[in-house]
C-alpha cells in the first residue's frame, strides 16, 4: 500500500473563507479522493493558523477574546469546507495542545543543533502578511503586497540561521528537480536561494499571542515558524515518530504562489536544521482573480463559497475551478465562465449522454442494459483518453484530466448521433452503440469521481453499478471494456438541470 499525504495551507482566522481559499481546498480534496480511489492510504490535512498579530488585532477590533474569536472562525472555515464536500482527515488548529508540544520540540531541536541565536531586529514588518521586509523588498517603505506603509520594529529577537542552508538547499533542488511543481515556480524559489539568504527573526516579545519558546518564555514563536510546523505536528512528530516518518516520505504541500518563499525556502531549511528530510513535493497554484485582481477580503471581491454552492451546486463549483485553470497559473473567476462550463460540459455533454442512453435503453431494450462489445467504439479509441486522464490526475494536471473526460463523452455522443439507436428497427442494432456508450459512462464516472462527487455516484447507480464497488480499485476499474450489461435501467433524472438565467 502506498501512502499519500496531502496538506493545504492553514488559513488565517482573521476573516471568513472566500473562494480563493476554497481553490486550494478543492484541488487538495480532488487529489486526496483520486488517491483514495487508487487504494492508497491517504492522509489529507488542513486547518487554521490562529496565532500572530493579525489575528490578535482582528479579535481586539471586534471586542472579543482571541480564543473566542478563533473558535468562531475555525467553525466558519469548517462550514465552508462542508458545503464544498471537502473530505479532509484532520483539521489542525495551531492553538491546540498537540501543536504547542510539536513546535516546542522542533524549536528545541534546531536550538540544540546551534541554528538559533539571539540578536536585535531593526526593520519593517507588514502585519497583513505577517512578514518582515527589507529595504530591498520594499524600497518605498510600503508593503509590496498590500501597498500600505510597513511598521518600524525594533526588538530583541531570536534568529534562525537560514543563511547556513543556502548550499544545502541548492543541493536539494539540484538533486530533486521535481520537488517543486510546476517548473516555473521551482525556478522562482531556486533563483531566490541563489540570490543569497539572510537569517530570519523567529520570535517576538512585543506580542504574547503565540507559543512560548521552550528555552526563553519571554518570547513567543513568530507566527510563520509556528504555522509551518503544523505539517509535522499533525503527522505525529512529537507523539508518534514512527507514523511521522512513514507519512513524511510521501508529503505533498499544496500552496498558493504568495507563500512560496516560506514553503520552498524556509521550510526545507527548517526541516534540515531539525535533522529531518525536506517535504517530498511542493505543489504551487496560482491565484483566482476577479477582473485581473487577486480575490481577497481586502479587495472587497471575495466570493462566498457557501452562497455559490447554493446557486450552482457543489459539483458545478468544484468542476469549474478544476477545469478552467491549470494548477500553477493565475486564472480569472467569473459567473459567466462558470455557467458556460456548466451548460456546455456538464449539462449538454455529460448530462445529455446519460439521459439519452438511459432513455433509449429503457424504451427500446426493455430497460435491460446491453454489454460493451467495442463494435461501435473500439477500445483503442477510448484507451488513449483514459490513459491521459489518469496521467492528469497522477500528475496534478486536473484541467487535462477533465479535458480527456470531455473528449470521451464527445466521442460517445458523436457515435450515438451517427448510429441513432433510437431509430433502429432491430434491438440488436441499437444495443451496440448503447453498450459502448454505457462503457464510456462507466469510465467517465470513475474519472470524474474526485471532482463531481455527487454526479459520479449518480451515473454509476443509473447504469447499475454500486459506487462502492470501484472505490480503492480505480486502476482495475479503468481497464476499458468491462461493462457487462444485464442491469435493469430506467430513464435517469437530469444530472445537471439547465440553469435559470441568473443575470450574471
End-to-end C-alpha distance for the chain, whole angstroms: 47
Answer whether 224's CB lies under 8 Å from 260's CB. Answer: no
Residue 265 binds to ligand MSP (criterion: CB under 6 A): no
Nearest distance from C-beta of residue 140 to ligand MSP, angstroms: 23
- Name the residue number minimizing CB distance to ligand MSP: 256
- Other Cβ atoms less than 10 A from the Cβ of 475: the count is 12
Which of 232, 296, 451, 470 lies at the binding interface for ligand MSP (CB under 6 A)? 296
458 is catalytic: no
Among 5-13, 374-382, 398-406, 432-440, which window interacts with ligand MSP (CB under 6 A)? 5-13
129 is catalytic: yes
Nearest distance from C-beta of residue 80 to ligand MSP, angstroms: 12
Residues that bind ligand MSP (rule: CB under 6 A) add up to a total of: 21
Name which of residues 45 to 64 contact ligand MSP (CB under 6 A). 49
Contacts for 258-265: CB closer than 8 Å, 24+ residues apart:
258/145, 258/287, 259/9, 260/185, 260/188, 260/189, 260/284, 261/189, 261/192, 262/224, 262/228, 263/228, 264/180, 264/185, 264/186, 264/189, 265/162, 265/169, 265/189, 265/192, 265/193, 265/197
CA distance 256 to 131: 16
Which of 4, 5, 6, 12 lies at the binding interface for ligand MSP (CB under 6 A)? 12
Which of 115, 132, 266, 287 lies at the binding interface for ligand MSP (CB under 6 A)? 287
Closer residue to ligand MSP, CB minimum distance, 227 or 495: 227
Residue 11 binds to ligand MSP (criterion: CB under 6 A): yes
126 is catalytic: yes
- Unique residue bearing C-alpha cell 499519500: 4
Residue 255 binds to ligand MSP (criterion: CB under 6 A): yes
Residue 279 binds to ligand MSP (criterion: CB under 6 A): no
> Which of 101, 105, 257, 297 does the annotation list as catalytic?
297
263 is catalytic: no
Radius of gyration of the chain (CA): 26
CA distance 25 to 314: 13
> Which of 78, 101, 105, 146 does the annotation list as catalytic?
146
Nearest distance from C-beta of residue 75 to ligand MSP, angstroms: 16
Which of 4, 5, 9, 324 lies at the binding interface for ligand MSP (CB under 6 A)? 9
Angle, alpha carbons 296-302-308 (nearest 5°): 145
Name which of residues 395 to 414 contact ligand MSP (CB under 6 A). none
Among 116-124, 138-146, 182-190, 293-301, which window interacts with ligand MSP (CB under 6 A)? 293-301
Angle between helices 314-324 and 305-312 (to 10 degrees): 110
285 is catalytic: no
- Unique residue bearing C-alpha cell 479503468: 478
147 is catalytic: no
Q: What is the 3-state secondary structure (H, E, C) of 464-498?
A: CCCHHHCCCCHHHHCCCCCCCCCCECCCCCCCCCC
Which of 5, 6, 20, 132 lies at the binding interface for ligand MSP (CB under 6 A)? 20
51 is catalytic: no
Residue 28 binds to ligand MSP (criterion: CB under 6 A): no
Hey, which residues does 149 pair with through a beta bridge?
A: 142
Residue 258 binds to ligand MSP (criterion: CB under 6 A): yes
Answer whether 295's CB lies under 8 Å from 303's CB. Answer: yes
Which of 294, 381, 388, 410 lies at the binding interface for ligand MSP (CB under 6 A)? 294
18 is catalytic: yes
Closer residue to ligand MSP, CB minimum distance, 103 or 460: 103
Angle, alpha carbons 222-24-102 (nearest 5°): 35
Is the torsion defined by CA of 375, 380, 385, 390 positive or negative?
A: positive
Q: Which residues bind ligand MSP (CB under 6 A)?
A: 9-12, 20-21, 23-24, 49, 227-228, 230, 255-256, 258-259, 287-288, 294-296
> Active-site residues: which are they?
18, 21, 126, 129, 143, 146, 294, 297
Amino acid at each position: 500500500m502506498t501512502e499519500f499525504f496531502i496538506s493545504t495551507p492553514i488559513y488565517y482566522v482573521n476573516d471568513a473563507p472566500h473562494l480563493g481559499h476554497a481553490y486550494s481546498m478543492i484541488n487538495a480534496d480532488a487529489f486526496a479522493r483520486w488517491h483514495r480511489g487508487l487504494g492508497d492510504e491517504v492522509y489529507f490535512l488542513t486547518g487554521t493558523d490562529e496565532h500572530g498579530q493579525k489575528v490578535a488585532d482582528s479579535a481586539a477590533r471586534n471586542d472579543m477574546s482571541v480564543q473566542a474569536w478563533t473558535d468562531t472562525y475555525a467553525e466558519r472555515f469548517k462550514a465552508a469546507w462542508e458545503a464544498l464536500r471537502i473530505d479532509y482527515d484532520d483539521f489542525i488548529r495551531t492553538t491546540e495542545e498537540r501543536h504547542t508540544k510539536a513546535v516546542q520540540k522542533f524549536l528545541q531541536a534546531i536550538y540544540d543543533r546551534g541554528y538559533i541565536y539571539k540578536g536585535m531586529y531593526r526593520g519593517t514588518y507588514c502585519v497583513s502578511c505577517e512578514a518582515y521586509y527589507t529595504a530591498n523588498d520594499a524600497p518605498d517603505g510600503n508593503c509590496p503586497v498590500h501597498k500600505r506603509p510597513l511598521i518600524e520594529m525594533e526588538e530583541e529577537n531570536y534568529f534562525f540561521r537560514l543563511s547556513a542552508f543556502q548550499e544545502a538547499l541548492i543541493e536539494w533542488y539540484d538533486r530533486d528537480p521535481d520537488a517543486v511543481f510546476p517548473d516555473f515556480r521551482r525556478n522562482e524559489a531556486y533563483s531566490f536561494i541563489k540570490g543569497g539568504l539572510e537569517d530570519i527573526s523567529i520570535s517576538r516579545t512585543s506580542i504574547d499571542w503565540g507559543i512560548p519558546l521552550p528555552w526563553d518564555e519571554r518570547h513567543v514563536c513568530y507566527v510563520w515558524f509556528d504555522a509551518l510546523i503544523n505539517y509535522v505536528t499533525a503527522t505525529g512528530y512529537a507523539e508518534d515518530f514512527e507514523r511521522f516518518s512513514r507519512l513524511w516520505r510521501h508529503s505533498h504541500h499544496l500552496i498558493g504562489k504568495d507563500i512560496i518563499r516560506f514553503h520552498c525556502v524556509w521550510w526545507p531549511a527548517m526541516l534540515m536544521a531539525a535533522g529531518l528530510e525536506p517535504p517530498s513535493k511542493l505543489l504551487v497554484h496560482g491565484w483566482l482573480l476577479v477582473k485581473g485582481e487577486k480575490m481577497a477580503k481586502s479587495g472587497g471581491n471575495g466570493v462566498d463559497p457557501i452562497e455559490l454552492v447554493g446557486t450552482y451546486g457543489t459539483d458545478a463549483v468544484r468542476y469549474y475551478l478544476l477545469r478552467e485553470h491549470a494548477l500553477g497559473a493565475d486564472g480569472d473567476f467569473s459567473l459567466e465562465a462558470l455557467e458556460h462550463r456548466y451548460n456546455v460540459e456538464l449539462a449538454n455533454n455529460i448530462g445529455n449522454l446519460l439521459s439519452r442512453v438511459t432513455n433509449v435503453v429503457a424504451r427500446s431494450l426493455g430497460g435491460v442494459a446491453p454489454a460493451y462489445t467495442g463494435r461501435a467504439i473500439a477500445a483503442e479509441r477510448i484507451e488513449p483518453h483514459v490513459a491521459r486522464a489518469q496521467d492528469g490526475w497522477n500528475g496534478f494536471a486536473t484541467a487535462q484530466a477533465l479535458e480527456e473526460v470531455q473528449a470521451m463523452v464527445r466521442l460517445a455522443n458523436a457515435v450515438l448521433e451517427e448510429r441513432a439507436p433510437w431509430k433502429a428497427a432491430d434491438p440488436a442494432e441499437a444495443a451496440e452503440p448503447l453498450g459502448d456508450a454505457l462503457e464510456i459512462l462507466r469510465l467517465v464516472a470513475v474519472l470524474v469521481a474526485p471532482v463531481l462527487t455527487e454526479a459520479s455516484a449518480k451515473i454509476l447507480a443509473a447504469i447499475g453499478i454500486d459506487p462502492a464497488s470501484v472505490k480503492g480499485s480505480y486502476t482495475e476499474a479503468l481497464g476499458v471494456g468491462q461493462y457487462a450489461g444485464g442491469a435493469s435501467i430506467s430513464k435517469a433524472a437530469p444530472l445537471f438541470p439547465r440553469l435559470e438565467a441568473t443575470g450574471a
